Structure 1
Amino acid sequence: MKSLTAEQVKQKMEQGEKLNIVDVREVGEVSQGKIPGAVNIPLHLLEFRKDELDKNTDYIMVCRSGGRSGQATQFLDQYGYDVTNMEGGMMSWTGDVE
């Protein structure tokens, strides 16, 4: 499973890279703040909403601490998606939130 630290994701954003971030936390968690531009698809809905994602696009998966996003990364990887887990989740995020 591919992974990046929260700091590496932040650096990519600061360098102007276009990142496709999927936040798999529950709606109530995301309402407290998410990485700018992240799309929220709660983990329990990912199986039903995976077709909203493009297999030709790379995604960074995010949750609170890295566990659920790790599950999401493994799940999507088995379906051929290009996914990377952000280690440490939002607990490690020091960048902007919206």
Structure 2
Amino acid sequence: MSIWWVINIVLFSILAVMLLSSLRVRLMTRRSATILTQEEFQEGMRKAQVIDVRERDEFKAKHILGARSFPYTQLKEIYVSLRKDQPIYIYDQSRALSARTANFLRKKGYTNLFILKGGLEEWTGKIKEKKLD
């Protein structure tokens, strides 16, 4: 077997793992939450609990105006501060952490879960940003 076959097999395996991981996130999202466009997210966010699941330093640097910092890494300790009777709007940089958060919250009995399509990366609404000196 030539080295090129080995390289092709390794590359194919890496690609397959990446595709399966992406599929898993999509299925998890579809089962746990509703994806909202920016317009839908902006319309409903005043009546919802808006949480940013990125780390606190990322939140401090830039976040959607009105959002609360709710780092995914601390979710197991702080999720109980969320109300089950109000919608929860979740976002991160893109969408992977949001899907994991929604899946975790669904398992804990939360049902009104929504994720921002495109995350903060594609957000064009109002933000709070720390100015660099």
What interval of TM-score do these two structures reach, taking the shorter chain for normalisation? Answer: 0.7 to 0.9
One-letter amino acid of the structure 2 residue matched with residue 33 of structure 1:
K
Instruction: Indicate the structure with greater helix content.
Output: 2
Report the Cα distance in structure 2 between the residues aligned to 1:43 and 1:83, rounded to whole angstroms: 15
Q: After superposition, what is the alpha-carbon deviation per residue over 1:14-72, rounded to whole angstroms, capped at 9, x for unaligned?
A: xx843320100011111121111101110011111011011111110010001101110
Unaligned 5+ runs, structure 1: none
Shift in Å, 1:92: 1.1
- Matched position secondary structure for 1:31: helix
2:60 aligned residue: 31
- Report which structure shows greater RCO (CA 8 Å, sep ≥6): 1
Conservation of the 8 A alpha-carbon contact between 1:22 and 1:62: yes
Spell out structure 1 runs of 4+ moving beyond 4 A.
none
What do you get for the CA RMSD once the two structures are aligned?
1.6
Report the Cα distance in structure 1 between the residues aligned to 2:88 and 2:124, rounded to whole angstroms: 20
Conservation of the 8 A alpha-carbon contact between 1:60 and 1:84: yes
- Matched position secondary structure for 1:65: coil
Unaligned 5+ runs, structure 2: 1-32, 129-133
- Matched position secondary structure for 1:21: strand
**1:92 and 2:122 matched:** yes
Identical counterparts, % of pairs: 28
Task: Give TM-score, length-normalised by structure 1.
Answer: 0.87
What does 1:1-98 correspond to in 2, within 5 Å?
Answer: 1-10=33-42, 12=43, 17-81=46-110, 82-98=112-128
